[in-house]
Chain A
C-alpha cells in the first residue's frame, strides 16, 4: 500500500521561545528549526511498515515555507521515497493545512495517511482529525500501536483512562502519540542519497485550495512569570511551610 506522511517544520523542542516585544508573535529569527517530534514518529512508523513489506511506497508531504524542504530531505534520509512541498506562507491554520493535504490525498490516493497528533508550536491537535473529516476516512488518533490486518487497520489509542483499540476500514488516517515508536537517526550515506530523491514543489493555487481562515491571532503574550521560591533545609521545615505558610495540607 501507498503511505502518505505529513511533516511540519517547527522550532526545535529544546528551544526556549521568546515572545516578540510588539506582541505580534514568537521570535523565530535565528532560532533552530527541526521536524516536529510527532512527525518524526509518523515517518518512522511508515518506514517500519515498509520494512515489514506492508507499505510499498512512502510519500512525505509538508505544507509550509520553502525552507520546509530541509525537513522533507530529513524524511527522505530516514526512508521516505519521494517528497511533495505545498509551498505556502508560514503559520497556516489547521483547516487550511488539512485542505491542502486533502488535495494531495486526492492526487496520490494513499491507503494510509500518518500525521503527528499535534505540532509543538501551535499545540492545536486538529489537522489529522480535520483531514479525516474532509476525506471521509476513519481516524485513529493518538496511536501507540498500529497493525494492518487485511483490509483493516487495528489502532491502539492512548485515551485518558488508559488504552483503547479500534478497527478502521482502509483507507484511514492515523495520528501518532509519542509511544508509537522510537525514531531512528539518519545516517550520512542516507542523507547523501536523500539529495537525489525526487522533491516536487506545488502551490496551493495549483491544487485549487484556499488557505483562508476563520481564526485571527490578535496578540501573543508571555505567560505570567512564575518566580523561584525558597529552598528549605529539611523535610520538617517543608512540612511546616506547607501547613502554616502555604496552607495547602
Chain B
C-alpha cells in the first residue's frame, strides 16, 4: 500500500493540518507520499520533505495550480492517484473543495472527515453534527478520504529526509480563475491548532466587547472563536466561527463566553479536553457539557478572569 497525502500549506511551508493528515496515513500503514501542488512551492516541498515518516514528496509547481483551483488540481491528483491505494487530504476548505471532485472523476465514493482508522478500508466519522459516529467500509480500489485534523495527533514536522520529485503535466481546464482574496489578519494562534480557545457568542452584545476576549486570549496565548450568532450579528468575521458549519476545534481548554450551546456549536468543540462555560443563564445547554460552569455576568467575570490568570 502506498498513500498519497495532498498537502495543505500557508506562508511558504506545510500547514499543521498536513501533519495530522500524515498521522492518519501512518495509521493506515504503508509508504506515505506527500503531494505539493501550487505555484512557487519549492519551499513548501522542502518543509514537506522534513515531515517524519514521509517517504517521498511530489511537487507539481505550475501557474495552473496557483490558489489550488479544483478544476485544475483535481485532474492532476486523478492522474497521480492511479499508483496509490489511498488519497488523503485534511478536511480544510481546500481539501473539502478538491477531494470530492477527485473521487467522482475516479468513480468512487469519498469518506469525509474521518476521526479514526479501524483498518485499511474501515474508518469512523461523525454524522448528524457529531451526534452519531458511523463506521464506514470502502470497497473502492482507490480510497479517497478527508481527515478531521483534530482526530489525529500531528506527526513531527522535523527529522524526516524524503526525496523530492517533480511530477505531473500542467492541467489547465481554463474554466475558472482566481480573482482575489481577503484574509483576516491575526497575531494569535491559528484557531484549529490552538491549545486554548476563548469563544464569544450573542451574549457579547456587540463587536467592540470582543476586546475583552482578545485581551484574555492574549494573556492565555489563546485563539479567539465565535458562535454563529456572533458572526451573523456582525461582531466578528466568519472565519472565527466554531461549529458544524464553521471550524472544528479540540483544544486543551475551551472557554465559552455568552454562548448558549446549540447542537450546531457543540459539533465544533465538544471534543475539547476541558470546557468552561461562563453564562448568566443557568439553564443554558452549554452547562450540560461544561466541566466547569460559572453562572455570572460575563462583563464582570471576563475582566476578573484576565486579572487572575
Contact = CB atoms under 8 A, between A and B. Distances in A.
Interface of A: 11, 13-14, 16-17, 19, 26, 93-95, 98, 117-118, 120-134, 136-139, 141-142, 144, 154, 157-169, 177-179, 213-223, 226, 228-232, 234-236, 238-239, 241-242, 246, 248-249
Given A160-B93, A166-B69, A239-B308, A228 B288 contact: yes
Q: Which 8 A-B pairs have the closest CB atoms?
A: A229-B291, A129-B100, A133-B104, A130-B104, A126-B100, A214-B140, A165-B179, A248-B253
Contact of A142 (B93, B274, B275): B93
Contacts of A95: 103-104, 107-110
Contacts of B231: 179
Given A141-B97, A166-B176, A216 B139 contact: yes
A94 B103 CA distance: 10
Contacts of A230: 291-293
Interface stretch (B37-45, B199-207, B236-244): B236-244
21 contacts: A17-B131, A26-B128, A126-B112, A132-B101, A133-B101, A138-B173, A162-B184, A164-B178, A164-B181, A168-B176, A169-B174, A179-B238, A215-B140, A218-B136, A228-B290, A228-B293, A229-B292, A230-B291, A235-B296, A239-B309, A248-B274
B23 to A, nearest CB: 19
A98 B239 CA distance: 28
B280 interface: no
Contacts of A218: 122, 135-137
B127 A141 contact: no
Interface string B285-309: 0011111111110000100110011
Contact of A213 (B109, B253, B290): B109
Contacts of A234: 294
A160 B186 CA distance: 13
A164 B228 CA distance: 20
Question: Dominant SS at the B interface?
Answer: mixed
B227 to A, nearest CB: 12
Given A125-B96, A129-B104, 12 more contacts: A120-B244, A123-B112, A130-B101, A133-B102, A142-B96, A159-B94, A161-B184, A163-B181, A215-B140, A220-B132, A222-B133, A230-B291
Contacts of A177: 245
A165 to B, nearest CB: 4
